[in-house]
Chain A
Amino acid sequence: MSMFCFFLFFMIFLVIAALIAVHTDNLLSSVICVGAIGFGGSLMFLFLRAPDIAITQIAVEVLGLIILIRATISRDKTFISGQREFFGIVFSVAVLFAISAVGLKGFEDLPEFGTPAFVAAAETQEIVASEDYIEQSLSRTGAANAVAAVILDWRAYDTLGEATVLFTSILGAVVILRKETRNSPETIK
């Protein structure tokens, strides 16, 4: 129960940081609030017994903050006045309420917090993948860390696809940010 209250306070902190990030006018403070969400989330992963995720989240968060600050520093002169058109806002808020209603209905079927979803599923099904991963990852792959066994052995093709997606997105960023094209007049001369 005490752990539940602890997580609840953490979630309240994250929600407050998100609200400030959304509502502040200054882009730089907004980016700093995103950093607060990222590092707070990383701490929360640590207490949710996911140390691998926590380490990755810290590394990714530092890089992401550098990228975001690169975009906002000396460029936050943009003066935004007013909101979008009235009809657009009304439509978006209506969509938000519809999604919230559907989503909150979906939470009714979930097991209580503290019971993993795979334990609840094991009562009705014979084969549950997560149980096999916990039981057999050491004997069949030789990795003591079940998460490493899943991403590097059981689902290695998934990790290959991830590397491909990452490479493609970086390629796209390089193409977009490139100043001189190959056929520009300067290079022809």
Chain B
Amino acid sequence: MLYAMCFFLFVIGLYCALVKKNMVKIVIGIMIMEYAVDLFLIMLGYRAGGVAPIVGKDEFDAVSGMVKSSFINASVDPLPQALVLTAIVISLGSLSLMISICIRTYEKYGTFDITEIRRLKG
């Protein structure tokens, strides 16, 4: 159910990117898709009643130098969290690139309407 809601969020973003004529709206649609994918990946690693993957003082066995099995059986998945961290930072870079393209296009054509821009070119 939650996965399906996440996918619905993704489809809303895809609809916005495909159908809207405003360039900034297209960028917003791509951002919504990014949020949906990030949320989905984090949800895939969630454990019901789990703890964050940070080892506390009580979960560490100082004699053997290993973490206790109570932590291993309770921690959520750290791998999707690490990869989503990368994806979020990269999404900021791609957002700035897309918005700079939008600003440049507005300076040149005076509009955000992509059909208008196409008409001026032909």
User: In the bound complex, do residue B5 and residue A57 qualify as a contact, i.e. CB atoms below 8 Å apart?
Assistant: no
User: In the bound complex, do residue B21 and residue A80 qualify as a contact, i.e. CB atoms below 8 Å apart?
Assistant: yes
Sample 21 A-B pairs with CB under 8 A, ordered by A number.
Answer: A14-B9, A21-B16, A21-B28, A27-B24, A30-B28, A34-B28, A37-B32, A41-B35, A50-B52, A60-B92, A71-B103, A78-B22, A78-B111, A92-B15, A134-B72, A147-B53, A158-B83, A166-B93, A169-B96, A170-B97, A176-B101
Asked if A3 is at the interface (CB within 8 A of a chain B CB), the reply is: yes
Q: How far is the CA of A78 from the CA of B56 in the complex (A)?
A: 54
Q: Using Cβ atoms and an 8 Å threshold, which residues of chain A touch B9?
A: 11, 14-15, 18
User: In the bound complex, do residue B2 and residue A51 qualify as a contact, i.e. CB atoms below 8 Å apart?
Assistant: no
Shortest CB distance B100–A (Å): 4
Tell me if B's interface is mostly helix, strand, loop or mixed. Answer: helix
Q: Which of B6, B47, B49, B52 has the most CB of A within 10 A?
A: B52
Q: Using Cβ atoms and an 8 Å threshold, which residues of chain A touch B21?
A: 80, 83-84
Interface contacts beyond A31-B28, A115-B47, A133-B78: sample of 6 additional A-B pairs, CB < 8 Å, sorted by A: A18-B13, A38-B35, A113-B1, A117-B77, A158-B86, A169-B90
Shortest CB distance B23–A (Å): 9
Where the two chains meet, the residues of A that have a C-beta atom closer than 8 Å to any C-beta of B are 3-4, 7-8, 11-12, 14-15, 18-19, 21-22, 27, 30-31, 34, 37-38, 41, 44-45, 48-53, 56-57, 60, 63-64, 67-68, 70-72, 75, 78, 80, 83-84, 89, 92-93, 95-96, 99-100, 103-104, 107, 110, 113-119, 129-131, 133-135, 137-139, 144-147, 149-151, 155, 158-159, 162, 165-166, 168-170, 172-173, 176-177
Q: How far is the CA of A12 from the CA of B8 in the complex (A)?
A: 10
User: In the bound complex, do residue A146 and residue B47 qualify as a contact, i.e. CB atoms below 8 Å apart?
Assistant: no
What is the total number of residues of chain B having a CB less than 8 Å from a CB of chain A? Answer: 84
Known A-B contacts A19-B12, A56-B85, A144-B55; the reply to A12 vs B5 at CB < 8 A is: yes
Q: How far is the CA of A88 from the CA of B75 in the complex (A)?
A: 47
User: In the bound complex, do residue B93 and residue A170 qualify as a contact, i.e. CB atoms below 8 Å apart?
Assistant: yes
Q: How far is the CA of A3 from the CA of B2 in the complex (A)?
A: 12
Which of A64, A118, A144, A158 is the one whose CB lies under 8 Å from B45? Answer: A118
Known A-B contacts A48-B76, A84-B19; the reply to A144 vs B54 at CB < 8 A is: yes
Q: How far is the CA of A110 from the CA of B46 in the complex (A)?
A: 13
